[in-house]
Amino acid sequence: MFSNLLFRLVQEAEDILGSHQYVSYEDLGKLNYTGLVMKETLRLHPSVPAFTRVMEKDDELGGHQIPAGTLINVGVYALHHSPKHWNDPENFDPERFLSQKDDNDTGCSTHYAYIPFSLGPRHCIGQMFAEFEVKVLMSRLLKSFKFQLVPGQDYGYEDPKATLAPKDRICCTLTLR
């Protein structure tokens, strides 16, 4: 399955970038499959696995009375892995996002279930920049190099911090295409 996924990514990078060694603004809008893979990666491994908000006033949340001033931990990771909102949540399936109608509809039961950049007035100000960056790097690197995972890695996460990262990084051998 992953070799097919990789094949499609490389194919897209080659088709869209052609012979040039840079990614133009127009190219960004055409790197559709790369965008789906990025979205699914941020669903399964959200860089910001949780963030906090403070209740401004007394309110009810999920059947619980919450007093003003309470710190609420928004569990992005838990939401992104919840079978309540996602079919087969542990499965890496970029095409689950194909059913989305627009950027606010991720094809799951509610768009509030996909929040890698948070939502609302304090959502990530760098979202678009970050998405451009990922597309530029992925397409450029995949077009130029073959990636081979170094065997024997455990791919576990670092101890929880504000951001989520692999414990021992992810080591690959790169060869020129």
Instruction: Report yes or no: 155 and 170 within 8 Å, Cβ to Cβ.
Output: yes
Q: Residue 171 gets which letter from DSSP?
A: -
Give the whole-angstrom CA distance, residue 14 versus residue 157: 32
Binding to ligand HEM (CB under 6 A) within 123-142 occurs at 124-126, 129-130
Instruction: Report yes or no: 104 and 114 within 8 Å, Cβ to Cβ.
Output: no
Give the whole-angstrom CA distance, residue 165 versus residue 30: 29
Instruction: Report yes or no: 23 and 17 within 8 Å, Cβ to Cβ.
Output: yes
Of 48, 66, 136, 164, which one interacts with ligand HEM (CB under 6 A)? 48
| Main-chain phi, psi angles of 53, to 5 degrees | -140, 155
Closest CB to ligand HEM among residues 113, 130:
130
Closest CB to ligand HEM among residues 14, 130:
130
Q: From the CB of 60, what's the least distance to ligand HEM, in Å?
A: 22
Binding to ligand HEM (CB under 6 A) within 49-78 occurs at 51
Of 57, 101, 122, 169, which one interacts with ligand HEM (CB under 6 A)? 122
Q: From the CB of 74, what's the least distance to ligand HEM, in Å?
A: 8
Q: From the CB of 77, what's the least distance to ligand HEM, in Å?
A: 11
Q: From the CB of 151, what's the least distance to ligand HEM, in Å?
A: 28
Choose one: 21-29, 87-95, 113-121, 135-143; the region binding ligand HEM (CB under 6 A).
113-121
Closest CB to ligand HEM among residues 47, 82:
47
Instruction: Report yes or no: 106 and 82 within 8 Å, Cβ to Cβ.
Output: no
Please report, for residues 83, 101, 142, 170, 176, the alpha-carbon distance to residue 148 in angstroms, rounded to integers and kept in the order given.
32, 35, 12, 11, 11
Q: What does the binding site for ligand HEM look like in residue numbers (CB under 6 A)?
A: 47-48, 51, 116-118, 122, 124-126, 129-130
